[in-house]
Amino acid sequence: MSFFTSAKRFLLCSIIAYLILKGLFLSGFLTEYIQQIILFSFIAILTSLGLNVIYGYTGQFSLGHAGFYGIGAYTAAYLGAVFKVESIFSFLPILFLGGAAAGIVGYAVGVPILRLRDDFLAIATLGFGILVRVLLDNSDRAIEILGGSRGFIGIPKIVNLEIAFFTMVFLILVTRNLIFSRYGLFWQCIKDDELAATAFGINTARMKLMAFTYGCFLAGVGGALYAYLYSFLHPSNFDFLRSIDFLIIVIVGGMGSITGTIYAGLLWVTVIEGLRIGLPAQALEFRWVLIPIFLIMVMMWKPFGLLARRESKFLGLGKGE
Amino acid sequence: MELLSYVLQQLINGLQLGAVYALIALGYTMVYGVLRLINFAHGDIFMFGAFTAYYLISKWDVPIYLVFPITMAVTALLGFLIEKIAYKPLRSAPKIALLITAVGVSLFLEYFLSLNSLFTPNYIGFPRPFEVTGYDLRLFTITNVQLIIFAVTALSLLLLYLLIYYTKYGRAMRALSHDREVASLMGIPVDGIISFTFIVGAALAGLGGILYGFAYPQINVFMGIMPGIKSFIAAVLGGIGIIHGAVLGGLIIGVSEVFVSAFISSTLRDGVIFFILFLVLLLKPSGIFGKWIDKV
């Protein structure tokens, strides 16, 4: 039980958050659209957390995260269609399989490309992301139901507050415990100085691969949740710009900070979707003009992000809570 | 015979595309040489060049021999400003911060210019200032557009070669890409040479933009993304930091893209380019002409 008791405070916080959200959802105060946005923010947090493990903790820069997110989404949607999944209990294995598919692909891709560093890795992962997009666009030639560039339709809407929220909470706890385990220390050691890590006897190739696989697994679970939340998938939802979204969440929140990713994920979805509600359509096109400026300013001011390597005492994510 | 002539025709088309990629790839490779940065905004400079040429030709009726120098000057200025405003403050920042800034600059240029009061996000027809005529050479036809592209590319390559290997600036650039610290100790004005590199690279990208407009007369604010990425792959393929490597890489990428479209499937052509990238990165990350150095 130490797995749960070690993060009592975080569990308490999440139960309180859950009760507040449940109350809001039941009160009918929130429109279905806003409910969907709230659930999407959990997915964004989960997927960005995967990128934070890869990039923030282990220092392996990836520009193709949305590719793994897409693999998870399409795998889960396809398996769901094959096995006629409609209830929550048969959905949970599908959720796991979506993540596992992304993890396996991440492993297979990671073996060759994690030998590369920094900007070469960035280009290779970017290439992988575009490759996934191209394959998804052409997917209906191989498997009709995937829909190709017409999109995958008819996925049942299964994801509700409980599934999205508790999947996120559970995986945040798993991630937190991994980060504070010896493997997490190895990852951070590789990020700080790969040569020194090798000198300490850390199998850097294996550890990098492990972090990458786990990060891709999280992205895959996020994608599977996305598929069963929006019940429609289109290759354009998984393109380069989406990878940038996750990257921005990680960077703004801070490299190597779970708390940062949680806050930044909530902030990001609120800003992106909130501006859609709050602003007239004319001003909407300015969103993507302002976001890059903000990104550049963060890079100049705090190149490691706002909450780099700090965890919130309040949420109980810090060490030794 | 018919197949041979078809293959040759596609080869010419591929070389036409490859020549444009080569011009863009040169900017990537030079900037990477001096700054160790993938300048993601380079593809957008290329786009800006195409739009500048569009305005010069269709709105202001500038004669064609002036379109080239004016466009190149405008994109050179843009490249200069990007370096000064966005990259220079980050000279000592971690490498990834610089890379993310480059992505940010690229997104900013795309979405700022796609505002409805500026270039709009729509496709715009690019007016060719002359009629396209084909010359039948028995086995294949070659158009005057293709001849212009080959001639302009070859001429600018020659000039660039002379600039890099026979002038003081070129020598300074090569010294910088060898070792920035030592170069600055030898009295080379590092910031000035970096700016100069951006100016030359951006001018070549602008030139590529004009030629791309001639060859594929439809332009759009987001047109720079894929050619930009592919040109970077071309630079990696030829060996990053090596001038003739970028040219050869550009031609290979252009020809293979056209061949895949012609013989396999046009929707798979982007996929094949990235497959080439993976092969290069795995087999010889330093590229065709690169030395066996520890990039991995």
What share of residues in chain B are helix, strand, coil (percent, to 5)?
A: 75, 5, 20
Q: What is residue A46's predicted lDDT score, i.e. its pLDDT?
A: 93
Q: What pLDDT, in 10s, does the model give residues A17-36?
A: 889 888 888 887 778 888 88
Distances (CA, A) of B3 to A8, A264, B101: 72, 58, 48
Q: Which of B108, B117, B257, B264 has the highest number of chain A CBs within 10 A, making it the mutation to test binding with A?
A: B108
Q: Domain for residue B291, yes or no?
A: no
pLDDT tens digits along A200-251: 888 989 999 999 999 999 999 999 999 999 888 888 888 888 888 898 888 8
DSSP per-residue letters across A141-178 = HH-GGG-GGG-EE-------HHHHHHHHHHHHHHHHHH
In a domain, B89, yes or no: yes
In a domain, B294, yes or no: no
| Residue B79 domain flag | yes
Closest CA to A233 of A136, A142, A319: A136
pLDDT for residue A1: 47
The domain that holds B165 is classified in CATH as: 1.10.3470
CA triple A256-A262-A264, angle to 5 deg: 85
Domain of residue B180, residue span: 2-283
What backbone torsions phi and psi does residue B218 show, to the nearest 5 degrees?
-140, 125
* pLDDT-derived band at B296, boundaries 50, 70, 90: very low
The residues near A212 (Cβ < 8 Å, ≥ 6 apart) are A54, A58, A60, A62, A106, A107, A110, A114
- Range B232-252 average pLDDT: 88
Residue range A67-119, pLDDT digits in tens = 999 999 999 999 988 888 777 788 888 999 999 999 999 999 998 888 887 77
Q: What is the pLDDT of residues A162-200, one digit of tens each?
A: 889 999 999 998 998 898 888 999 999 998 888 899 898
pLDDT at B269: 81
What are the backbone angles phi and psi of residue A232, rounded to the nearest 5°? Answer: -150, 135
- How many domains are contained in chain B? 1
Would residue B295 count as lying in a domain? Answer: no
Please name the member of A120, A300, A304 whose beta carbon is closest to the beta carbon of B295.
Answer: A120
Cβ pair B296:A120 closer than 8 A:
yes
B56-108, pLDDT tens digit by residue?
A: 988 888 888 888 999 999 999 999 999 999 888 888 877 778 888 888 899 89
Do the chains contact at B108 and A292, CB–CB below 8 Å?
yes
DSSP classification of residue A302: -
Residue in B with minimal Cα distance to A134 = B271
CATH of domain A2-301: 1.10.3470
Torsions phi, psi of A303, nearest 5?
A: -65, -15
Residue B293 lies in a domain: no
pLDDT reported for residue B240:
82
Give the pair of three-digit tokens for residue A221.
């679970």
Q: Judge whether B292 lies within some domain.
A: no
- Cβ atoms of residues B165 and B178 within 8 Å: no
Compare all CA atoms of chain A with the CA of B102 and give the residue at the minimum distance. Answer: A296
pLDDT, position A319: 61
- Give the phi and the psi of residue B63 in degrees, each rounded to 5: -65, 150
CA distance A1 to chain B (A): 40
- CA–CA separation, A104 and A89 (whole Å): 24
* A182 close to A201: Cβ distance less than 8 angstroms: no
pLDDT at A226: 93
